Amino acid sequence: MEFAERLNRLGKENAFTVLGKVIKLREQGKNIISFCIGEPDFNTPENIKNAAIKAINDNMTHYNPSGGLPEFKRTIANYISKTRGINVGEENVCVASGGKPIIYYTIHALVNPGDEAIYPNPGYPIYESIINFVGGKAVPLPLLESRGFSFNVKTLENIVTDKTKLIIINSPQNPTGGLLSKEDLKAIAKIATERNIYILSDEIYSRILYEGEFNSISSQPDMQDKTIIVDGFSKTYAMTGWRMGFGIANKELTQQITNLENNCESCTVTFNQYAGIEALTGPQDEVDGMVKEFRERRDLIVNLLNDIKGFSCLKPKGAFYVFPNVTQACKNLGFKDAEQLQEYLLYKGDVAVLARTSFGLKNKDENEEYIRLSYATSKENIIEGLARIKRAVENK
């Protein structure tokens, strides 16, 4: 069968591929501990579930406008205005089936074939995939372990050209857990204003923060109009399967993003949006509880990782991922790279992790090896899983 040529340029999120392998192994009776998928193991809070159930019983089961219910958009606008210190209105909000479609729509709305778009590397793989898909040139911005997985401003200045249309940032970050400082954001904002570049700011982990403060580039002077914020409910409220997120942008861009949604999904699930209103306006103590638990797990997993020969792991400031450097462990085991380590841990250690290359090809001059573990799993799993990794890596 002959498919459209553009499909050759489409990447994918490898976490779902490895998850498929995990499920296969489990079907064969293997007891695999998985650190590969980035989703909270908590259940959605009861008040949020009840709001959706009520909405279904109230027959909120019909179509709603592309871009979202006005009441929901106003709730989101208030939430973003308050948390980012900017002035957002209903006309700046587009609700979608997750943060992921907003990334897809924004890149489609802004990047022409031949335009350049800068994305963080290592990073969430969908950015690079969609830039390539639309025929843009995906330009990696290396994130450096030596800078707590932030970037070098000089490097950013050097890779920006007259063709740069978009810079994508993500803080707190997947896969490293790194947090961009206000200084980093100021440097990006300066470049964006001087060179007239849009910023796609993926803030999906903004509430999952353990140290430092969350800053949005949209609050920098003159940046609100140039920024597209991506946020949603999957991570903060343990609602991955509900598929609900949103984008915040200037009015014209919001209209274009909404029109793309109109052509693709028509609208987001109607009764879900009532659950979204409850999530943002109801009690927040369960979110605080989840973040407290994630913090304890972070401390636990970082200590256990640093106790494995050939591993070294920075303490991430946010999200629920750790990104240990495993260069020495790969050498000790005679492995060429972290992909071999990933396969070895899965088939010999019964533990699923993701190699660095699931988050983009290595940068030029990058010689280190890394893996990502998601610690959105129980402390028991962390203790047992890390004991298995230690045994496998130290050959005991």
| Cβ-contact 118, 287 below 8 angstroms | no
Closest CB 358 distance from ligand PLP, rounded Å: 12
Token pair of 141 as six digits = 């911005």
Among 202, 261, 278, 293, binds ligand PLP (CB under 6 A): 202
> Buried (b) or exposed (e) across 159-183, using 16+ Cβ within 10 A?
bbeeebbbbbbbbbbbbbbbbbbee
Closest CB 80 distance from ligand PLP, rounded Å: 15
Q: Which amino acid is at 290?
A: M
Run of H or E including 26: helix 14-27
Whole-number Å distance between alpha carbons of 101 and 197: 21
Token pair of 101 as six digits = 């479609």
Q: Nearer to ligand PLP by C-beta: 149 or 329?
A: 149
Q: Nearer to ligand PLP by C-beta: 120 or 148?
A: 120
Q: Nearer to ligand PLP by C-beta: 99 or 360?
A: 99
Under the criterion CB under 6 A, does residue 174 sit at the interface with ligand PLP?
yes
Quick note: the x/- pattern for ligand PLP over 15-54, rule CB under 6 A, is -----------------------x----------------
| Cβ-contact 294, 376 below 8 angstroms | yes
Closest CB 335 distance from ligand PLP, rounded Å: 27
Under the criterion CB under 6 A, does residue 316 sit at the interface with ligand PLP?
no
Token pair of 33 as six digits = 């501990």
Q: In what order do the strands lie in the sheet with 354-355?
A: 321-322, 371-374, 354-355
**Residue 229 dihedral angles phi and psi, to the nearest 5°:** -90, 135
Whole-number Å distance between alpha carbons of 362 and 180: 21
What are the contacts of 138-141 at 24+ separation with CB within 8 A? 139/164, 140/360, 140/361, 140/363, 141/167
Closest CB 98 distance from ligand PLP, rounded Å: 3
Q: Nearer to ligand PLP by C-beta: 13 or 368?
A: 13
Under the criterion CB under 6 A, does residue 318 sit at the interface with ligand PLP?
no
- Gyration radius (Cα) of the chain, Å: 21
Please report the sign of the dihedral spanned by the C-alpha atoms of residue 96, residue 98, residue 102, residue 104: negative
- Residues 153-172, interacting with ligand PLP (CB under 6 A): 170
Under the criterion CB under 6 A, does residue 360 sit at the interface with ligand PLP?
no
Distance of CA 75 to the CA centre of its chain: 23
CB-based closest residue to ligand PLP: 98
Under the criterion CB under 6 A, does residue 124 sit at the interface with ligand PLP?
yes
Give SS3 for 337: coil
Q: Nearer to ligand PLP by C-beta: 13 or 339?
A: 13
Closest CB 319 distance from ligand PLP, rounded Å: 8
Q: Nearer to ligand PLP by C-beta: 39 or 384?
A: 39
Question: Among 251, 254, 5, which Cα is nearest to 134's?
Answer: 5
Under the criterion CB under 6 A, does residue 240 sit at the interface with ligand PLP?
yes
Whole-number Å distance between alpha carbons of 231 and 99: 6
Quick note: the x/- pattern for ligand PLP over 87-116, rule CB under 6 A, is -----------xxx----------------
Q: Nearer to ligand PLP by C-beta: 95 or 139?
A: 95
Under the criterion CB under 6 A, does residue 293 sit at the interface with ligand PLP?
no
Closest CB 374 distance from ligand PLP, rounded Å: 9
Closest CB 169 distance from ligand PLP, rounded Å: 10
Residues near ligand PLP (CB under 6 A) are 38, 98-100, 124, 170, 174, 202, 204, 232, 234, 240, 245
